[in-house]
Amino acid sequence: MSARILPPSEESLAEAAAALRAGKLVGMPTETVYGLAADAGNPAAVRRIFAAKGRPSDHPLIVHLPAAEHLPQWAREIPEEAWTLGRRFWPGPLTLVLARRPEVPSEVTGGQETVALRVPAHPVALALLRAFGSGLAAPSANRFGRVSPTTAADVLEELGEAVALVLDGGPCPVGVESTILDLSRLETAGPVILRPGAIGAEALAEALERPVAAADGAAPRVSGSLPGHYAPATPVRLAAAGEIEPVVAQRLAQGKRIALWSRHPAAAVQLVWQELPAELEVLARRLYAQLRAFDRLGVDEIVIERPQGEGPLAQAIADRLERAARGSGGR
């Protein structure tokens, strides 16, 4: 039986919290994407996440907390930098990687000595976390490596009977996953961004009053860091604005059915075209929903114009599209 989508009423929140305490999985909205939530302190429940997603067991999860005050329950060493960032950016789309407490299940950490933690900004997620009273492991509620869900219906489409219920919090307002910042190696590497998101290096460095570095080879493994990820089943090809016309013409000449996402339509009419939003905030919110919509069309290839712009959202969108292209077999 497929899961039910429930409005975020007090009764639904209580039902969801009870399901989580019973070791079941719940679809949970956050400001970034919908998560597949389980009791992070229950190894058997966490293993159900991996089974439902088809996720490799060494790929760590993010633990969502009701408030920053819960950090000591999960992290062994909490530097002042973590408290500083928590005060500045939580609740919000920032995940901190810290040294884990010994009792944190290894299933959550992918066998590593670090744990990824954040306080989400979505009111339904916070209400569920407070009702549950502890941390919830909640990766994106989709099959591993595929397009992240940004609506409750997306969760059902992906996972169906694997979840007990889905709390409907509406479309996710940010639309791309959280920034992940490693604070577990401050003495040797400093603060290091492991995954780009809506909160960028400049804002983090300003809050910390020190530089923030990019990921290095010694960084912990984190969610969404594989070369191919966030991918539809249909191959995705990225092209600069000036390359769109020749790329589309070549594909059509080969008899390919094309879906095009660009600022302007190509001259050819034998394709599906959607206008690429110029505003990065709008593009981030629509990114995964549009990839899913294109995937349902049954076309041979999705051609996407590389978005223009600067800043953390531009970097996050480019990161997701590059990984989607590699993960789908495009480029």
DSSP per-residue codes, 6-74: E---HHHHHHHHHHHHTT--EEE--SSS-EEEEETT-HHHHHHHHHHHT--TTS--EEE-SSGGGGGGT
Q: What is the pLDDT of residue 126?
A: 98
Q: Does position 223 have pLDDT exceeding 80, yes or no?
A: yes
Span 236-328: which CATH code?
Answer: 3.40.50.11030
Per residue in 8-56, pLDDT (tens digit) is 999 999 999 999 999 999 999 999 999 999 999 999 999 999 999 999 9
Q: Does position 209 have pLDDT exceeding 90, yes or no?
A: yes
Q: What is the pLDDT of residue 323?
A: 95
Per residue in 237-252, pLDDT (tens digit) is 999 999 999 999 999 9
Q: What is the pLDDT of residue 1?
A: 52
What's the chain's average pLDDT? Answer: 95
> Residue written as tokens 């990766």?
139
- Identify whether the C-beta of residue 179 lies closer than 8 Å to the C-beta of residue 313: no
Q: How far apart are CA 317 and CA 307, in angstroms?
A: 8
Write down the domain spans for the chain. 4-214, 236-328
Q: How far apart are CA 322 and CA 306, in angstroms?
A: 10
Q: How far apart are CA 317 and CA 208, in angstroms?
A: 25
Query: How would residue 265 be classed by pLDDT, with cut points 50, 70 and 90?
Result: confident
- Which helix H or strand E contains 206, and what residues bound it? helix 201-208
Portion of the chain with pLDDT greater than 90, in percent: 89
Q: What is the pLDDT of residue 272?
A: 92
Query: How would residue 3 be classed by pLDDT, with cut points 50, 70 and 90?
Result: confident
Q: How far apart are CA 223 and CA 194, in angstroms?
A: 9
- Of the listed ranges 27-41, 154-168, 258-272, the one predicted with least confidence: 258-272
Query: How would residue 168 be classed by pLDDT, with cut points 50, 70 and 90?
Result: very high
Q: How far apart are CA 214 and CA 230, in angstroms?
A: 21
Q: Are strands 192-195 and 114-118 parallel, antiparallel or unpaired?
A: unpaired
- Identify whether the C-beta of residue 59 lies closer than 8 Å to the C-beta of residue 163: no
The DSSP letter of residue 234 is S
4-214 folds as: DHBP synthase (3.90.870)
Q: Does position 71 have pLDDT exceeding 80, yes or no?
A: yes
Give counts: helices (H), strands (E), the chain: 10, 16
Per residue in 170-206, pLDDT (tens digit) is 999 999 999 999 999 999 999 999 999 999 999 999 9
- Identify whether the C-beta of residue 129 lies closer than 8 Å to the C-beta of residue 64: yes
Phi-psi region of 53 (alpha: psi -120 to 50; beta: other; left: phi over 0): alpha
Q: What is the pLDDT of residue 2?
A: 61
pTM above 0.85, yes or no: yes
Q: Does position 224 have pLDDT exceeding 80, yes or no?
A: no
Q: What is the pLDDT of residue 216?
A: 81
Phi-psi region of 85 (alpha: psi -120 to 50; beta: other; left: phi over 0): alpha
Task: Average the pLDDT over 67-77 and give the result.
Answer: 97
DSSP string across 242-266: GGHHHHHHHHHHTT--EEEEESS--
- Identify whether the C-beta of residue 40 lies closer than 8 Å to the C-beta of residue 115: no
Query: How would residue 269 be classed by pLDDT, with cut points 50, 70 and 90?
Result: low
